[in-house]
């Protein structure tokens, strides 16, 4: 290389601006980390939440037909009309709220994009956003990117006669003030499986009457609730629906976590702002998948078969774990079961998860990862999250392995 070329590179390098991370404390998510451990030790992966079986072949057929027939070009920015109509029907049937197909429903790239676009559109610098711990990992970094401030309120952990985490409405009320822009609620709750009750909606209505905050509802597990529970969504109450953004996904409902199709429903003025972000973030979402899902929803009762399917799997795992030293907690919904590991020792949850993967060959997720500081004593309750969206044979093999501990 001649000298002037070398000099050029040197000068260029010297002129590089300092790289300032917007998320300095963020690394790979716990799901990627535990996938890596699972792959390394060839563990049965009950960590990241995804089914280990194929979606319904009828769904695959209609999506293939949609792709063959076309269109395969950009979908409308707000989503394919047939899918928005199917979402409106589904939300009316389950959540009990009628959303306008053109003004209030937007198809997004998974629940992740719906949540991210909502937070970026609604949270301004210095706004406070209340998160309930344990909280799904996406919310806090997105609030940071929006310039907002997270205010984290812990659920009461299990123990002392309480069979799972429980909402503490007094603590939530104490965290809300005139700077609160958003309260994020995720029910059925990942990771605890907790669902909302009418009394929770009463408490929320009382709070909403006192402060003008918005509510971001992550209902990604809406179709997976057990033991004949009646589904409770804040949007069923008109006073609350006015300030709610309802987010969900087809990932769990149709067992297609790799397709990344979700949506959000919100009053027109709120949807308008969210769409401004969505249109520049992704513009629009995969056309044939949207079309195929719309066709499938019009001819299948898939959403109704999920709760019984996963209830059987939950019961199989709970029953199997009775042969081990692991103690399952009550699980009301989702496809996650929390398991108490205290009989195995008192390591922090992350170490325990790694130990289970290495010693028993079963990968799980430490619940502490859903807290602001996973190492803190308040984040460690000796609990691991097991995903039971797995073939019966996978669950049985995992139980067999866990019996050695
Ligand atoms: N919210 C919760 C509570 C989740 O568990 C997940 C993971 N499925 C998401 C949002 C993200 O959903 P999606 O894969 O559709 O982006
Ligand atoms: N929602 C999935 C879970 O909780 C993870 C999705 C992801 O890896 N971001 O397991």
48 C-beta closer than 6 A to ligand 2: yes
Tell me if 28-55+303-402 shares its fold with 57-299.
no
Domain 28-55+303-402 has CATH 3.30.450.40: no
110 C-beta closer than 6 A to ligand 2: no
Q: Are the CB atoms for 332 and 194 separated by under 8 Å?
A: yes
Pocket test for ligand 2, best of 34, 48, 139 (most atoms within 8 A of CB): 48
Q: pTM above 0.85? A: yes
Q: Are the CB atoms for 357 and 41 separated by under 8 Å?
A: yes
Residue 4 has pLDDT above 80, yes or no: no
257 C-beta closer than 6 A to ligand 1: yes
Per-residue b or e along 358-387, where b marks 16 or more CB atoms closer than 10 Å to that residue's CB:
eebbbbbbbbbbbbeebeeeebbbbbbbbb
Chain centroid to Cα 53, Å, comes to 20
Closest atom of ligand 2 to 136 CA is 4
51 C-beta closer than 6 A to ligand 2: no
* Cα 50 to averaged position of ligand 1 atoms, centre (Å): 10
**Token output for 225:** 């609730």
- Percent of the chain at pLDDT > 90 equals 95
Q: How many residues does the chain have?
A: 405
Q: What is the pLDDT of residue 275?
A: 98
Q: Are the CB atoms for 249 and 91 separated by under 8 Å?
A: no
The whole-number average pLDDT for the span 160-175 is 95
**Token output for 16:** 């590089």
Confidence at 16, pLDDT banded by 50, 70, 90: confident
The whole-number average pLDDT for the span 52-77 is 98
112 C-beta closer than 6 A to ligand 1: yes
Q: For the packed helices 287-299 and 81-94, what is the interaxial angle rounded to 10 degrees?
A: 40
Residue 401 has pLDDT above 80, yes or no: yes
348 C-beta closer than 6 A to ligand 1: no
Closest atom of ligand 2 to 112 CA is 9
**Residue where the block lists tokens 């971001």:** 216
Overall fold of domain 57-299: 3.40.640
Distance CA 398, CA 392 (A): 10
For the chain, domain boundaries: 28-55+303-402, 57-299
């Amino acid at each position: 290389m001649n000298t002037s070329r070398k000099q050029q590179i040197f000068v260029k390098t010297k002129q590089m601006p300092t790289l300032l991370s917007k998320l300095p404390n963020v690394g790979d998510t716990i799901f990627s980390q535990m996938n890596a451990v699972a792959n390394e030790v060839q563990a049965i992966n009950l960590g990241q939440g995804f089914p280990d079986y194929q979606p319904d072949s009828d769904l695959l057929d209609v999506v293939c037909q949609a792709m063959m027939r076309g269109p395969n070009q950009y979908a409308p920015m707000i989503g394919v009309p047939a899918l928005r109509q199917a979402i409106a029907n589904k939300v009316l049937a389950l959540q009990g709220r009628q959303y306008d197909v053109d003004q209030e429903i937007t198809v997004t790239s998974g629940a992740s994009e719906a949540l991210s676009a909502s937070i970026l559109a609604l949270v301004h610098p210095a706004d406070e956003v209340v998160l309930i711990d344990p909280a799904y990992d996406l919310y806090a970094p997105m609030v940071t990117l929006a310039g907002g401030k997270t205010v984290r309120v812990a659920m009461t952990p299990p123990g002392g006669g309480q069979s799972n985490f429980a909402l503490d409405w007094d603590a939530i009320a104490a965290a809300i003030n005139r700077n609160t822009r958003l309260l994020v609620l995720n029910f059925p709750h990942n990771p605890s499986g907790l669902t909302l009750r009418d009394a929770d909606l009463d408490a929320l209505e009382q709070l909403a009457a006192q402060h003008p905050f918005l509510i971001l509802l992550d209902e990604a597990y809406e179709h997976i609730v057990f033991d004949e529970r009646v589904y409770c969504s804040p949007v069923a109450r008109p006073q609350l629906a006015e300030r709610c953004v309802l987010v969900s996904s087809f990932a769990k409902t149709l067992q297609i976590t790799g397709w990344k199709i979700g949506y959000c429903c919100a009053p027109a003025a709120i949807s308008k702002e969210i769409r401004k972000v969505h249109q520049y973030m992704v513009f629009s979402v995969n056309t044939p998948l949207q079309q195929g899902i719309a066709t499938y929803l019009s001819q299948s009762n898939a959403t109704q078969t999920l709760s019984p399917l996963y209830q059987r799997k939950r019961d199989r795992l709970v029953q199997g774990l009775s042969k081990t030293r692991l103690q399952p907690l009550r699980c009301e919904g989702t496809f996650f079961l929390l398991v108490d590991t205290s009989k195995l020792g008192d390591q922090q949850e992350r170490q325990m998860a790694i130990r289970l993967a290495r010693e028993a060959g079963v990968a799980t997720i430490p619940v502490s990862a859903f807290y602001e500081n996973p190492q803190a004593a308040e984040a460690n309750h000796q609990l691991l999250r097991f995903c039971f969206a797995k073939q019966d044979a996978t669950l049985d093999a995992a139980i067999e392995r866990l019996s050695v501990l």
